[in-house]
Amino acid sequence: MSFFTSTSRPEHISTTRSWAALVCLSVLQFFIAVDVTVVNVALPSIGDDFGVDPRGLTWVVVGYTITGGGLLMLGGRLGDVFGRRRLLLIGTAIFGAASMMAGFAETFAVLVAARLFQGVGEALALPAAMATIVLLFPEGRARTRALSVWAAVASCGLVLGFVLSGIITEHLGWRWVFLIAVPFILFVLIATVILLPGDRKQERAPLDILGSILLTGAPLLFAFGIVEAGEGMSWLPVAALTGAFVAAILFVGVERRAPNPLIPLAFFRNRTRVRANLATALLSAALSTSFLLFTFYLQDELGLSPLEAGLLLLPLAVALIVAVTVVPRLMGRWGARSCIIAGLGFAGAGMIVIAVAAQLDAPAWVLIPAMLFIAAGMGFGLVGLQYAAVTGVTDDDAGVASGVQRAADQLGGSAGVTVFVGLGFASIAHGVSPYLLSSGLAIIGLGVAAFVARRVAVSDEHTTEQGVNTEA
């Protein structure tokens, strides 16, 4: 997907140099994707070191995804205004420095702060990298091949994060989950300077800074309020939740008056896109919840080591790779809406298996069907929803539609971890299995998503194979 509509192209560089640049940027994409899932298996070890319960550990996940998703569209605009190569270098440097900060964190608060900065780095670097690839390769076969490599690297990074987390945590310690990326980030910085041409003079345009702050601040306040409310209502969670509501209202007002808004309000007139993005957020919420429940159950309940837990998640990783390869072809036969409904159903079945397994204190192998269902839900659901979310786009709004879909995916996953896992493991839920409660909340969300998805009006006759970003 592209966050840019500019037609400017970088100075001519050779085909070999373009592909070398693609390799360099794909390394960055890989570690950004890995960082979405690599912390999951390491969470219990992090909790043991800092004395933090599962409810508090959700911040290690949502801190990264909220700032990354909330600032993503601003990052794209900053690249247009200040130069993509410059933003790529700044964002990559921030991501690398934050990774080192996380690896050497002495307190849990410092670790969470580092994850927030990692999200900032992602939001600056990723849109610039994507736009650079689009401009380096001419339209047609070359660009299609380049974007296919980019999407494949993202999918592999996402699924390999589970396995790498177990191996690294077991043999090197959880800190190396973050530190291992640092030398590769240095490679990306050096290669970017050598391979990519300098930025041309950019046309300056007004930036919607206030809108970006509100778009990021609202989910952060919401997450803080929900986590604190799990320990009992007091003035602090009430204030945070009220602040989140006010920030969301202000965001709409700011976007209505901004000369160059992040999300033009006209975008929301297309009901198909709005419904597709709402369903995307709810599906991603359930998927992200399932990842954490797998981790907590395998290690906290069954007492498996990080390595054993990582290896047991291999069926999920393999099934996901198969799903994102096969589903785009099936969508051409079945249509987008059918794939979406099937994906939501598969995800719901996976959550049911998790809940039943936890209630029965089942052995680890019982979770394998749940992993296969979750992978199928991710493949079927997100491919179809991505197609629906960009239905009918033009050159004028393709970037906005793609950016909103990506933000819905990332922020939806953050909200799911915050609400479903945060409330499921909260002290106010004492006496109820946290796995049952978290799964139940996710199933309700999937039910709402299915109701919304049934009303997604997509013309399936033009459905073609789509690239998919599967970061939950």
pLDDT attached to residue 428:
61
Query: CA 294 to CA 316: how far, in whole Å?
Result: 10
- Report yes or no: 371 and 350 within 8 Å, Cβ to Cβ: yes
Query: 392 in the Ramachandran plot: left (φ > 0), alpha (ψ -120 to 50) or beta?
Result: left
pLDDT attached to residue 31:
86
> Which residue shows structure tokens 């979405």?
36
Residue type, 348: G
Task: At 370, list the tokens.
Answer: 């749940």
Q: How confident is the model at residue 411 (pLDDT cuts 50, 70, 90)?
A: confident
**Interacting residues of 333 by C-beta distance below 8 A, sequence separation 6+:** none
Query: CA 286 to CA 264: how far, in whole Å?
Result: 28
> Which residue shows structure tokens 């249509």?
335
Average pLDDT, stretch 401-430?
A: 78
A 10 A CB-CB count for 396 gives 9
Q: How confident is the model at residue 139 (pLDDT cuts 50, 70, 90)?
A: low
Instruction: Tell me the pLDDT tens digit for each residue of 80-112.
Output: 677 788 888 999 999 999 999 999 999 999 999
Task: At 264, list the tokens.
Answer: 């033009």
- Pick the residue with more confidence: 372 or 463? 372
A 10 A CB-CB count for 257 gives 8
Average pLDDT, stretch 60-85?
A: 80
Q: What is the CA radius of gyration of the chain?
A: 21
Environment class of 394 (CB within 10 Å of its CB; exposed 0-12, middle 13-18, buried 19+): exposed
Q: How confident is the model at residue 182 (pLDDT cuts 50, 70, 90)?
A: very high
Lowest mean pLDDT, pick from 31-40, 97-106, 117-126, 341-350: 31-40
Q: How confident is the model at residue 464 (pLDDT cuts 50, 70, 90)?
A: very low
Lowest mean pLDDT, pick from 3-12, 27-36, 384-393: 3-12
**Interacting residues of 185 by C-beta distance below 8 A, sequence separation 6+:** 28, 31, 92, 93, 95, 96, 99
Q: Is residue 172's pLDDT more than 60? A: yes
- Pick the residue with more confidence: 170 or 283? 283
pLDDT attached to residue 466:
42
> Mind spelling out the 3-state secondary structure of the chain?
CCCCCCCCCCCCCCHHHHHHHHHHHHHHHHHHHHHHHCHHHHHHHHHHHHCCCHHHHHHHHHHHHHHHHHHHHHHHHHHHHHCHHHHHHHHHHHHHHHHHHHHCCCCHHHHHHHHHHHHHHHHHHHHHHHHHHHHHCCCCHHHHHHHHHHHHHHHHHHHHHHHHHHHHHHHCCCCHHHHCCHHHHHHHHHHHHHHCCCCCCCCCCCCCHHHHHHHHHHHHHHHHHHHHHCCCCCHHHHHHHHHHHHHHHHHHHHHHHCCCCCCCHHHHHCHHHHHHHHHHHHHHHHHHHHHHHHHHHHHHHCCCCHHHHHHHCHHHHHHHHHHHHHHHHHHHHHCHHHHHHHHHHHHHHHHHHHHHHHHCCCCHHHHHHHHHHHHHHHHHHHHHHHHHHCCCCCCCCHHHHHHHHHHHHHHHHHHHHHHHHHHHCCHHHCCCCHHHHHHHHHHHHHHHHHHHHCCCCCCHHHCCCCCCCCCC
Q: Is residue 237's pLDDT more than 90? A: no
Task: At 253, list the tokens.
Answer: 């007002």
Instruction: Tell me the pLDDT tens digit for each residue of 209-226.
Output: 888 888 888 888 887 787
Average pLDDT, stretch 190-196?
A: 87
pLDDT attached to residue 140:
61
Q: Is residue 456's pLDDT more than 60? A: yes
pLDDT attached to residue 448:
94
pLDDT attached to residue 461:
42
End-to-end CA distance of the chain: 16
Query: CA 42 to CA 96: how far, in whole Å?
Result: 19
Mean pLDDT of the chain: 80
Q: Is residue 451's pLDDT more than 70? A: yes
pLDDT attached to residue 462:
45
pTM, to two decimals: 0.77
Average pLDDT, stretch 252-266?
A: 79
Lowest mean pLDDT, pick from 243-252, 348-357, 459-468: 459-468
Lowest mean pLDDT, pick from 77-81, 317-321, 364-368: 77-81
pLDDT attached to residue 465:
41
Q: Is residue 472's pLDDT more than 50? A: no
Average pLDDT, stretch 225-238?
A: 71
Q: Is residue 127's pLDDT more than 90? A: no
Share of the chain above pLDDT 70, in %: 84
- Report yes or no: 112 and 227 within 8 Å, Cβ to Cβ: no
pLDDT attached to residue 141:
67
> Which residue shows structure tokens 């009918």?
392
pLDDT attached to residue 5:
37
pLDDT attached to residue 151:
66
Q: How confident is the model at residue 233 (pLDDT cuts 50, 70, 90)?
A: low
> Which residue shows structure tokens 């599962």?
54
